[in-house]
Structures are given as C-alpha cells and as structure tokens.
C-alpha cells in the first residue's frame, strides 16, 4: 500500500466560510484555520478526537503556550503561524503515515500476521455502527456477506475515534488478555468551545501548557509525549490482564491509544482491521481538562457524560462554577477558565460568543445507546460573572420545580379521571396514565429552548434574563399541560378532572415563582 501521510494528504473534513465541505491535510487545516468555519465530520466522536489531535500538535509546535502572555502571542495574529507547525510536523512526519512499514500512525505493525483470522470488517471501526447489542444478527445494518471498504482518510478518522471512545468488553486474542476497559472518553462528554472559525475554536481550547508548573495538571516528573512520539505498543501482549498506566502528561492523554490496532488495506482502500487489547487508564489518573465533573458524595468527582434521558443543559451550572477544590460541587473544563480571563478577552473581544459543545456517547458495556452532540451558547465573559451564575442556578432550580409541579398536577388529573366520586384509584393505573402523557419529556424539551434564550441574554442583564426566563418557562409548562390533557372526550368526568388539575397546577406554581404585583384599575377622574 502506498504511503498516506496525514501531514500532507487531505483527510480532515472542514467547512469553508461559504459552506463548502472539503478535506485538508493536517498542515493545511492548521494554516488555513482562520479561513475555515470548523471541522465538518458528521460523527461527534470524530470531531472530538480530531480536535484533540490538532490541539496536541499546536501545543508541541508552539512549545506551550506556557502562560497567558504566551497564549496571547499565539492568538494575536488571528491565524496560526505556519513555520513552527511545519517545523514540528517535519520531525514526526514518518509517524504520521497511515501505512508506514514499521511504525504506522496509531497502529501496531505485525498484528495481521498473528491474528488475520480475527480481522473485523472495517465498518465496525466506526463506533456509531459497530455495537448493535443483542439483536445484532437480526437487525444488522449490513448484508450477510459484506464487503465494506473505506478510503484511507475516513479510516484515519475512524481510528482516532476508536482510540478515544472504544467501549469496554471482550477483545479476545490467543495468548493475550481477554478483555479491555473502556477508552478514556467513553464515560465522559468532551467539551469544546466552538467559535465562528476553526482558528477561534482551536485557540479557545489551547490551554496554558507548562508541565514543570503542573499546567494543566502535574505529570509526576515524567517527560510528556504525544502518542506518536512514543515507541509503538508491543506486537505481543503476553499478560493475563490489560496493562494500565497513568498518562505521561496532557499531550499523552490527548492522544491516548487505548487499543492495539492494525488496518488491512487492498487496492487503495481499507477493508478490515485487527483489534487487540492495548492499555487502560490507571486508577488515580489526572482528570481530563476537556471534561466536566460533578461531585458525588461517596465517589468524589465523576465525569459528566452523555445521558439519553437528560440533556447536558440541565448541568449547565457547572460551566459557571469557577471555584475548584474539595468543596466545589463541579469542576468545569479548563478552557472556560482560559477564555474568561481579562487578558484573553482583550484578544478575543469582550462580546465573543461561543457554542459550548458536548460530544460523546452513551454506552452500556459494549452496547452504544447514543452518539450525540449537544450545545449551549453564551458570551465568554459570562463564565466568571457571579450574577450570570446566580441566574443560571435559579433557572435550573426553577425548571426542576416546574416539572415537579406539572407532574403533581397531572397526577391529580389522572386520579380524578380514573376514579371519580372520591374513590381510591389504582396507583399503578394512575402512574401509567401520567407516564403515557409524556409530559415530563415535553416539558424538559420546552424548558431547554427557553434556557437557551436565557444564556444568550446573560451578557446584557442577568437579572432581566432570569425574569424573562421565569415568564417564558411558566408559559411553556402551561402549554405542555394543555397539550397533555387535551382529549376528544368531553364527558363531565374528564372535564372536571382537567379543571381540578389546572387549579392544582396553578397552586403548585405559585410556590416556586416570583409574586407579580397586581395591576390596579385606574380610578375614574372626579368631575
């Protein structure tokens, strides 16, 4: 197979400012970042791992930035200087070849010779298609005798995502460990600040990097290295269990290779791959600076991941929690600390708006339940604004109370509809009717839309934004109630149940909302 060097071959999908999607090499994507809208792969997992890949290269190319002053020097031109990027990539170019004869990018040469009969079709490398759960044979997404293939560019992207998000479970090969732990990002949502160009996205997520001063975290004295700067993983792993270790540092974590993989190519296309146990993160490894954490009273800080039943915006108060330490309820991604610094705001502009994107998967063992990208949007300067934080906390508390009040009212509705005349209804039947209305899901969805408006208004007046949120949230909950209780039946029983539930809703809402002054009618003028 002829070489496919990522530093020179187009493989990174990007969107130009006019909306066209094209592919660029690593060199060109970074050099042209200020003229590109952003990464454009349809998979959130690829976007997350490609971003981390590019950030690792930038940290190496600019030897830091070691502090906020150095960061400003990188950012102030408004584009990435090409000379340091080219100089660094020249030194590691041989490790960026996807089909290098001895050290292929993110792979281990020699696995095919040992385990050819265990080769997987290449489409299974993409996690969005590779785990179908118990019904795999019945509901498979490809024909019984597949012959899938990928371009080298697509295979390279899938390889990065696989290393970042591979689920745990059996990866059995003869004479090797039988199972592997989940990759580092499987249980975590990767948080990326997205600007209006790829340059602004990357520069906003380019943290202060000084291992000697524990930035962004302590390395324990070991020299930090990207995966491609380290010796390749061993061809043979004659161990009883998967080896685990602490990352050498931030760059090692950004480029972590969780599996031993070798791509199999024919006639210019990649058709299969070998997947073997690689390495896991050791207990006590540093927390990922691109992940949000919430404090569990028993287990300490745990990563906030993708939840199929709960939108990330319901944890958005974590984004405004600037405090760190043993008593902090959250630990937010480090990029939010960076972009809210006064020196950084002077370079970016005080009215710089970012999409806070959360990218990841919801997985149960080897089953992938969802691949998702969620986002909220607000001004960078709001992340350290105490009034903005108070408004967000208040809005989230109010949302929880409103949904609870709605459910209580619908319980009244179901109880009176199913057992009129004061009889005691069957509790399971009441619960079943309430659940069937789908009001909880509808309410959270409607409140999420209102919450987005709150975030966009924080920069002008947090108090006014909070007041508008309350008014809009009440309107949204009332609309959900009306929709949930609308029925074609017009019998007295259902109408009475609805009226009683409406009164219960109003009474419940009064407990959680700000009293509004009553407007007094104007007095008639005395003749």
In angstroms, the CA 389 to CA 375 distance is 18
Name the nearest CA neighbour of 158 among 194, 105, 95: 105
Q: CA geometry: angle at 316 spanning 204 and 286, to 5°?
A: 60
Separation CA 209–CA 35 (nearest Å): 26
User: Which pTM does this prediction carry?
Assistant: 0.92
Pick the CATH number of 388-510 from 1.10.132.100, 3.40.50.2300, 3.40.50.300, 3.40.640.10: 1.10.132.100
Q: Where are the domains of the chain?
A: 12-281, 388-510
CA distance 26 to 32: 10
**What is the Cα 102 distance to its own chain's centre?**
34
Contact call for residues 248 and 222 (beta carbons, < 8 A): yes
Spatial separation of the C-alpha atoms in residues 301 and 520, rounded to whole Å: 52
Cβ atoms 261, 273 nearer than 8 A: yes
- What is the spatial distance between Cα 396 and Cα 329, in angstroms, rounded to a whole number? 15
Three-class SS of 276-296: EECCEECCCCCCCCCECEEEE
In tens digits, what is the pLDDT along the chain, a chain of 527 residues? Answer: 799 999 999 999 999 999 999 999 999 999 999 999 999 999 999 999 999 999 999 999 999 999 999 999 999 999 999 999 999 999 999 999 999 999 999 999 999 999 999 999 999 999 765 444 444 443 445 455 556 999 999 999 999 999 999 999 999 899 999 999 999 999 999 999 999 999 999 999 999 999 999 999 988 778 999 999 999 999 999 999 999 999 999 999 999 999 999 999 999 999 999 999 999 999 999 999 999 999 998 889 999 999 998 999 999 999 999 988 888 999 999 999 999 999 999 999 999 999 999 999 998 877 888 999 999 999 999 999 999 999 999 999 999 999 999 999 999 999 998 886 667 788 999 999 999 999 999 999 999 999 999 999 999 899 999 999 999 999 999 999 999 999 876 788 889 999 999 999 999 898 877 765 544 444 444 43
């Amino acid at each position: 197979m002829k070489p496919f060097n990522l530093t020179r071959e187009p493989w990174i999908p990007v969107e130009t400012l006019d909306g066209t999607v094209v592919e660029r090499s690593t060199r060109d994507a970074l050099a042209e970042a200020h003229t590109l809208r952003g990464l454009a792969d349809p998979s959130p997992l690829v976007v997350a791992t490609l971003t981390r890949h590019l950030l690792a290269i930038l940290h190496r190319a600019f030897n830091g930035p070691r502090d906020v002053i150095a960061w400003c020097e990188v950012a102030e031109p408004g584009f990435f200087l090409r000379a340091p990027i080219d100089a660094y990539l020249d030194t590691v170019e041989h490790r960026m070849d996807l089909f290098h004869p001895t050290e292929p990018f993110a792979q281990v040469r020699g696995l095919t010779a040992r385990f050819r009969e265990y080769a997987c079709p290449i489409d299974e490398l993409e996690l969005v298609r590779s785990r179908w759960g118990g019904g795999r044979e019945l509901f498979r997404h490809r024909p019984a005798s597949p012959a899938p293939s990928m371009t080298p560019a697509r295979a390279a992207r899938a390889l990065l995502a696989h290393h970042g998000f591979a689920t745990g479970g059996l990866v059995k090969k003869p004479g090797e460990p039988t199972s592997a732990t989940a990759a580092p990002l499987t249980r975590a949502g990767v948080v990326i600040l997205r600007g209006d160009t790829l340059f602004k996205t990357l520069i906003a997520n380019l943290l202060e990097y000084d291992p000697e001063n524990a930035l962004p975290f302590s390395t324990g004295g070991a020299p930090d290295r990207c995966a491609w700067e380290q010796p390749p993983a061993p061809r043979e792993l004659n161990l009883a269990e998967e080896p685990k270790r602490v990352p050498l540092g931030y760059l090692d974590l950004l480029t972590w290779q969780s599996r031993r993989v070798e791509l199999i190519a024919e006639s210019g296309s990649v058709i299969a791959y070998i997947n073997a146990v690689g390495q896991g993160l050791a207990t006590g490894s540093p927390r990922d600076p691109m992940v949000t954490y919430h404090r569990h009273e028993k287990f300490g800080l745990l990563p906030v991941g993708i939840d199929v039943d709960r939108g990330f915006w319901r944890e958005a108060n974590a984004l405004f929690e600037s405090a760190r330490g043993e008593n902090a309820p959250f630990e937010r991604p480090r990029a939010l600390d960076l972009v809210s610094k006064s020196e950084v705001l002077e370079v970016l502009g005080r009215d710089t708006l970012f999409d806070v994107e959360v990218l990841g998967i919801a997985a149960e063992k080897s089953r992938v339940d969802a691949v998702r990208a969620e986002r909220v949007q607000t001004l960078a300067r709001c992340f350290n604004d105490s009034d903005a934080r108070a408004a967000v906390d208040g809005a989230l508390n109010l949302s929880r109370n409103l949904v609870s009040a709605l459910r209580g009212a619908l319980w009244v509705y179901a109880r009176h509809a199913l057992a009129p005349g004061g009889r005691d209804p069957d509790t399971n039947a009441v619960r079943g009717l309430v659940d069937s209305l789908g009001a909880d899901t509808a309410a959270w969805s409607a409140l999420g839309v209102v919450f987005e408006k709150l975030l966009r208004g924080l920069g002008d007046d947090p108090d006014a934004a909070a007041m508008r949120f309350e008014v809009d949230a009440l309107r949204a909950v009332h609309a959900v109630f009306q929709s949930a209780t609308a029925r074609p039946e017009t019998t007295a029983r259902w109408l009475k149940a609805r009226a009683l539930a409406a009164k219960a809703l109003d009474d419940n809402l009064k407990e959680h909302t700000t009293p509004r002054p009553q407007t007094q009618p104007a007095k008639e003028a005395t003749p």
